[in-house]
Structure 1
């Protein structure tokens, strides 16, 4: 496992960032310095597309011009499922546990994700009980959903090249594994017309894992023996489409199925992980654009969404600081008190998880959750820009 240099959430770096030279001025306010050296007003390339395409989707959606009507959004569900499968594949490709250092980083990432999930979910469970908002859904499921969306991070777009950032980038790469696993259970519980016992939802989780492994194995047998690059591209695209389409049809999680396929390709012999990563980057950008447009169009601005957004930003910031501190204490990977500050940038996976759960249960309450997650993602990115770490100490 290496630090995220490919910005796997969007399929590649921002070309403008490679063109704009770094600023050598020392008179600028420190937290405004990135505005002079990076594209899209200093936002990381990972979240910059959301700043553009989510508002466009909101304008085109049913709440405004209705260009993307509910019927059109229904037709795009299949494309969103494929995009989710691609995100899951890249999460699996990043999960290489061969080597002691890699396993320590994964443990630290899991600790950080668990702490953030529990902090955000627990705080919202108490808050929702006192507010009594008309979200229709059980407060526990809403709190868990918000905790899942808040627990993911993205450090791949930062221009910091320090050793601590390299560790933080590795943690941010892997702190989405646990949320993806939990979302595989949650999507079954939310998508069922009748209450689903937890043991039954876990059984469906194993079915999703088996699906990802089975399709991944079939794909590996195909594209490892492809006679040309064009043939291999067709096989890879077909396998990812099969993962997304089958999972969506069975009301399972394309993210989890894609995660298992990507993890399988890392462990199988040959160059499956490298060729899949290279070829999927060609289609990842347009898929992410569609996902963000659909997410924006699916947002419904309501009182409930406004009430959820502010606490979500605050609770997520608190959870990330707590999780980063505890991960550092448990693993001793770095001796930096500001590790949690590197993890404030949210990335796009939280939006993807919220949109996926909205597809599982289309209610005004879940639409309010998606809207709050989208707004909190942009607000958390602004916080990450302001709260950029300034000093570090290494072991």
Structure 2
């Protein structure tokens, strides 16, 4: 049983500072922890990282607004930067191991996980070029030509960017640079990283560091791979056609919703905009599932979306209606129809449940 009179540890104190948007208190927490003997890597991965996970969980549970989540993330990022600046004043670390590039997939704006990896690798003695969020593939390749990096660590949090990640992986490998993938987008077990031909996958920063220290094999540059070489199911063109007709699919589904459900006609402009955004996410995840031929990616997104909607007091049954209308437009796409049926079944089978309480993280 926890002792309420016991002093709070750095994890609890940082959470308090971050959730209150107090940058100075957050930096002070880390300074005090360093003075108490905490190592920088432990602060990065056992304090800062769990606090950020709790920020995301509180947003999902509707305990934080989008603005509050952004503010909390910004404070946590500043705390991580302050920790890095502290290192510049310390004695030199271990000798350099090599040079690596850490970057996010083009379109991926969740840079926090990649920054954690970059700072961890610097602590381990690597020279790190951190390119941040949304790095276009052509600029990544130009950077690699200029720096002759030993490896690229590619971070992705949102699965809809996986086709873009695939292009980045093959482009890096074509010039002889191995790629390690990481982040939630690549699946909890790295299965999407393997499907896209990445040279390695790491579940977290410590795993990435260990893999680099063990050495990544150099990729073959004998031939440039095409997407279909890794994913032969793409020959059916379903992914390509869904992507090409994305705007039409969203527009027509919204029109049919208004026709079949008169209540939708009374939506405000804001409600219509939110509905269109939800439909866009559904189409994007369906397209990505088609790209990878992984129905689970689509069903997981649908049930997650249902959880989020219900926490916000929005009936999740509206998702089933949207899927039915989308299926009507994709009647000539057997893989897409099968995935929509599985998504519908998952929604019908699920029971209303709250987003898990993140309290155990603090």
| Normalised-by-shorter TM-score class | under 0.3
| Structure number with larger C-alpha Rg | 2
**TM norm structure 2:** 0.26
Structure (1 or 2) with the greater strand fraction: 2
When you count helix as a share of all residues, which structure comes out higher? 1
Higher relative contact order structure (alpha carbons within 8 Å, sequence separation ≥ 6): 1
TM-score by length of 1: 0.24
